Chains A and B, each alone.
Chain A
Amino acid sequence: MSEEMLRVENLHVSVDNTPILKGLNITINRGEIHAIMGRNGAGKSTLANVVMGHPAYEITSGEIYFHGQPLDELAVFERARAGMFLSFQYPAVIPGVQVGTFLKKSVASVRDEPPKGRAFRKELNEAMGKLEMDKSFLSRYVNDGFSGGEKKRLEILQMLLLKPKLALLDETDSGLDIDALRIVSKGINEIAPEAGCLIITHYQRLLDHVKPHYVHALIDGTIVKTGGPELALELEERGYDWLDAAA
């Protein structure tokens, strides 16, 4: 019996009174990797942000359920504590706050039991090792002066530490070179078996490393076509114009 992590029903979302999502439906079960592809402006990032609870997005109708629980009752930090995670396309810079401090406080906020000093350091070292991150990261300020690749690695590091039940990955592959792409993919594959994953991407290349079970084409605020990994290849080859009629 599959365990439902995310269910989005007939979701309509506006930003500044402009409708972006127009009746979107998707269900993600535990252990499933879903990829959403689409043009710029189709509403991909909106979906990720609205599921996480960004205050700038207004849900005009429809429902989002996490583990069967309607999300509109949960504040952003409660969603994080419940096991939701968003890997940001553009992670915010927090000047003056060291990565090490931030990670420890974040993990302490999300877990029921705050991490113990030595055990946490061990866990952190292991996770950073997997992502081929140098320890010097820990004393830098969160995303301050980070390259695109460094930012994405820090996002994935957080994901490994927070062990989410639902991971939303918003263009995690953009701006990554081939090595960084491989490393980031390793992180995603590690948590994927126990979680539901929603990968938002423009490109097929991440999907060479992270095998999706379902690929969805998002056009003008709705999913117009769903398929297996072969759909990603087809979208990359043919573009989206052939689907416009379906929107």
Chain B
Amino acid sequence: MNEEAMDAVGDYKYGFHDPEHATIRFDKGLSEQVVRDISALKDEPEWMTELRVKAYKHFEERAMPDWGNCNLLESINFENVTYFLRSSDQTEKNWDDVPDDIKNTFDRLGIPEAEQKWLGGVTAQYESEAVYHSIREDLEEQGVIFLDMDTGLKTHPELVKKFFGTVVPHSDNKFSALNTAVWSGGSFIYVPKGVSVEMPVQAYFRINAKNMGQFERTLIIADEGSTIHYVEGCTAPSYSTDSLHSAVVELVAMEGAKIRYSTVQNWSNNVYNLVTKRAVAHKNATVEWVDGNIGSKLTMKYPSVLLKGEGAHAEVISVAYAGEGQHQDAGAKVHHLARNTTSNILSKSISKNGGRSSYRGMLQVMPKADSCRSKVVCDALILDENSRSDTYPTMEIGNSSADLEHEASVSKVSSDQLFYLMSRGFTEEAAMGLIVNGFFEPFTRELPMEYAVELNKLLELEMEGSIG
């Protein structure tokens, strides 16, 4: 089947698509039977099947969120989504064994090249499942488990059962229920005690088919004193009809562990990106979410950290770029449950060409959590009169010993900045690109260099041809 893709919208260079590759494709629409069929196809243990069905029932009953962008949420037609599509019968360890079309896609996205240069492991998901997966031998020898979630459930059922759904229960929200019902793919990672994974491991998520629903499920467990950096990227073809991406990510950082989770989502502008990401940080653990939202039609995503153990630390750095027809409703949530816990939240957003970006944040300090510190900074840059930026911060402070800072700013590019740069030979577009890259710099400097360079180019491209 060869669906018609729109020409890549604007400068979205990932908007190409391949002929659809389906070895198994479910009919559109969702029912308990679809949920059971997915589970049966994957030959899952009974507890997982039952959890899926329970989650499906909850999804059916659960109301849509009454905040964010209600109009867009209500316009999602769950009956017009393909919930499962298998494009390759197995997950390959060698790129040469991946079907040509799919391999070409990942070549164009630069994944095999990046893997050789700077990654400790790669998983590449295409539609519903991983088509490629590998991990460096030395990591495997140290006992690091890095698998796609389906394989993880097969080979480490006890570990999965112990943690799955403990950080994000299926009943958390409508979309976590949906994900729990129909999840497929995603990553499963376990880092043993004291092991430090120096090179980042990467997952790349690609939607290719039209009206596709992608529901990956990721679980990362960093045992005591271990560290891991996980990087994910996402793109899709530009179609005139919508696709749905609804992931759930659960992180568990045991005592003294450190997890950094970096995302650059660059979905095409027909993708609904409704994701629940949450972490638990035990005593003296650190969790860092580095979260970039450049693409999608509507994103609603608020990476969260539950600071459960004394001395735990959360860092959430996020950026959002909302261009024409986009709404980025993003932010962060940090819950200080234990004493001496600390958090930093930095959120930066850019709105342009009628785009809308919203910061939605929650900072909570529980009554028993003494001597907590938190700093929240939200900066918005609005590039024209038609664009919009909102801030919805919530603070629930139950302990008076908390030391809190909150700063928010909304700014425009000043004519003095533009004149200065133009007097140095920059065109107006190039000047805008430079200012925008500088604005996002606190985020990009946290990314692996290859990602940072790519993101800067992307933003410069976004500034082109847009100034009247």
Interface residue ranges, A against B (CB under 8 Å): 52-56, 75-77, 79-81, 85-86, 88, 90-97, 102, 105-106, 109-110, 141-142, 158, 162
Give 15 A-B pairs besides A52-B419, A76-B419, A79-B423 with Cβ atoms closer than 8 angstroms. Answer: A55-B415, A75-B422, A77-B426, A80-B422, A80-B424, A92-B414, A92-B416, A92-B419, A94-B434, A96-B441, A106-B424, A106-B426, A110-B425, A141-B441, A162-B424
**Which residue, B426, B427, B430, B439, has most C-beta atoms of chain A within 10 A?**
B426
What are the 5 A-B residue pairs with the smallest beta carbon separation, nearest first? A96-B438, A96-B441, A109-B425, A92-B420, A97-B438
Would you call B417 an interface residue if the criterion is a C-beta within 8 Å of the partner chain's C-beta atoms? yes
Contact indicator A96/B439 (Cβ below 8 Å): yes
Would you call B197 an interface residue if the criterion is a C-beta within 8 Å of the partner chain's C-beta atoms? no
Closest B residue to A52 using CB positions? B423
> Would you give the 0/1 interface string for B398-429, flagging 1 where the beta carbon is closer than 8 Å to chain A?
00000000000000001111011111111110
- Contact A76-B430, Cβ < 8 Å, known A95-B438, A95-B439, A96-B442: no
* A58 CB to nearest B CB, Å: 14
* B346 CB to nearest A CB, Å: 12
Would you call B437 an interface residue if the criterion is a C-beta within 8 Å of the partner chain's C-beta atoms? yes
Which residues of the other chain, B, contact A97 by a CB distance below 8 angstroms?
434-435, 437-438, 441
Contact indicator A141/B423 (Cβ below 8 Å): no
* B425 CB to nearest A CB, Å: 3
Would you call B175 an interface residue if the criterion is a C-beta within 8 Å of the partner chain's C-beta atoms? no
Which of B417, B428, B440 is the one whose CB lies under 8 Å from A92?
B417
Contact indicator A91/B420 (Cβ below 8 Å): yes
Closest A residue to B438 using CB positions? A96
- Contact A77-B425, Cβ < 8 Å, known A55-B415, A56-B415, A92-B416: yes
Tell me whether chain B's interface is mostly helix, strand or loop, or mixed: helix
Interface residue ranges, B against A (CB under 8 Å): 414-417, 419-428, 430, 434-435, 437-442
Which residues of the other chain, A, contact B425 by a CB distance below 8 angstroms?
77, 80-81, 106, 109-110, 162
Which of A90, A141, A158 is the one whose CB lies under 8 Å from B424?
A158
Closest A residue to B435 using CB positions? A94
Expressed in whole angstroms, the Cα–Cα distance for A241 and B439 within the complex equals 48
Which residues of the other chain, B, contact A91 by a CB distance below 8 angstroms?
420
* B451 CB to nearest A CB, Å: 17
Closest B residue to A54 using CB positions? B419
Closest A residue to B443 using CB positions? A96
Closest A residue to B428 using CB positions? A77
Expressed in whole angstroms, the Cα–Cα distance for A223 and B324 within the complex equals 51
Contact indicator A77/B427 (Cβ below 8 Å): yes
Contact indicator B422/A102 (Cβ below 8 Å): no
